[in-house]
Amino acid sequence: MPENVTPYLHLPAPLEAIVKNWCWRYFLRTYEELDVVTVPSHTALVRIRKAGFSGEGIVISNGIDLKQFSPVCEDDLFARHLLPKGPKMLYVGRLDREKNVAFAIRAFAKVAENINGYFVIAGSGSEENKLRYLARELGVEGRIVFTGFVPACNLPALYRAVDVFVMPGTAELQSIATMEAMATGLPIIAADAMALPELVRDGVNGLLFQPFDQTSLVHCMEATLSNAALRGRLGQASLREIQKHDINYSVSSLETLYGTFSSNSIREVAASA
């Protein structure tokens, strides 16, 4: 979305608004020419409708390979060698401003005063050095593990080596990392923003916190890190919730869409999505 990009231009607010409007107009000029547009979530469809898109839109999840991401593995390298013992929370993704990782670190620093847990941050990005400095400044450098970029082949083991997944981003149109964590049987802590509530049902497979409300996020972190029974219940629900995002369903939906390209069949796919 333009909103994800324009902050990096460092423009005055009035000019930033002009650039965002131009980007959305360019989007509409292009996408209105298409027969159908697929989006990964209902939130994404609502967002482009709000921007003025009037064409045919169908929700098809990005999908997850449920065979690759699962709670079962005989030998996890991360669990055996690289991560500290104790309850661990994980973030996976870009370390850029809109992901709000600094906000999560500040909340974790409050949690660390009472709970002997760890926060694993996997990924790289423009904010990485600032985040490392923030951890030192808050006195939790020894409780936060920055892994840097993690190759795709090691991601399943990383998810299996932790206890809770946190997604503080407020601009997610679906969130692949959150779905990977769900497929691994993890409870999810997520911002109650954009498409994340479509994946995370509060009190069912995770806990939602109010965006940028530190007290709300601290409560969610403390509740999950300190309660193994709660983590187990939420994690089992994650495994059930993720089934509808099986990559095979997404591929089948796309095959149906491309294979039957008449206006009537598109409407049928849209109605069943």
Element (H, E) at 50: helix 42-51
Q: Are residues 237 and 249 in the same domain?
A: no
* Domain presence at residue 72: no
Average pLDDT on 43-52 reads 94
d(CA 46, CA 29): 18
CA 78 to chain centre: 21
Three-class secondary structure of residue 39 per DSSP: strand
Q: Which residue has the higher pLDDT, 68 or 3?
A: 68
pLDDT band at 264 (very low <50, low <70, confident <90, very high): low
Do 228 and 114 lie in one domain? The reply is yes
Number of domains forming the structure of the chain: 2
- One domain, residues 210 and 252: no
**pLDDT tens readout for residues 205-258:** 999 999 999 999 999 999 999 999 999 999 999 999 999 999 999 999 999 888
Are 266 and 164 part of one and the same domain?
A: no
Residues 265 and 189 in one domain: no
H/E segment holding residue 206: strand 206-209
Question: Is residue 155 in a domain?
Answer: yes
pLDDT, position 258 = 85
User: Considering the domain boundaries, does residue 111 fall inside one?
Assistant: yes
Q: 251 and 131, same structural domain?
A: no
Q: Is residue 71 part of a domain?
A: no
**pTM for the whole structure:** 0.90
121 plus 221 within the same structural domain: yes
Tell whether 225 and 266 lie within a shared domain.
Answer: no
For the cut 80, the answer to whether the pLDDT of residue 36 exceeds it is: yes
CA 153, chain centre distance (Å):
19
| Residue 266, pLDDT above cutoff 80 | no
Q: CB–CB of 78/84 below 8 Å?
A: no
129 and 52 share one domain:
no
Do 145 and 223 share a domain, yes or no?
yes
Q: How far, CA to CA in Å, does 156 sit from each of 186, 191, 204, 215, 267?
A: 12, 23, 23, 31, 37
* Residue 30: its H or E element: helix 13-31
pLDDT at res. 73: 67
pLDDT tens per residue across span 193-209: 999 999 999 999 999 99
pLDDT in tens, 101-148: 999 999 999 999 999 999 999 999 999 999 999 999 999 999 999 999
Query: In terms of domains, do 249 and 234 share one?
Result: no
Residue 70, domain member (yes or no): no
CATH number, domain containing residue 140? 3.40.50.2000
Q: What is the pLDDT of residue 272?
A: 61
Greater pLDDT, 35 or 263: 35
For 8-26, the pLDDT digits (tens) are 888 898 999 999 999 999 9
Residue 194 lies in a domain: yes
Residues 86 and 17 occupy one common structural domain? no
Domain span holding position 255: 2-64+245-272
Classify the phi-psi angles of 19: left when phi > 0, otherwise alpha if psi is within -120 to 50, otherwise beta: alpha
pLDDT digits 0-9 by tens, 59-107 = 999 999 999 998 876 556 665 557 888 899 999 999 998 899 999 999 9
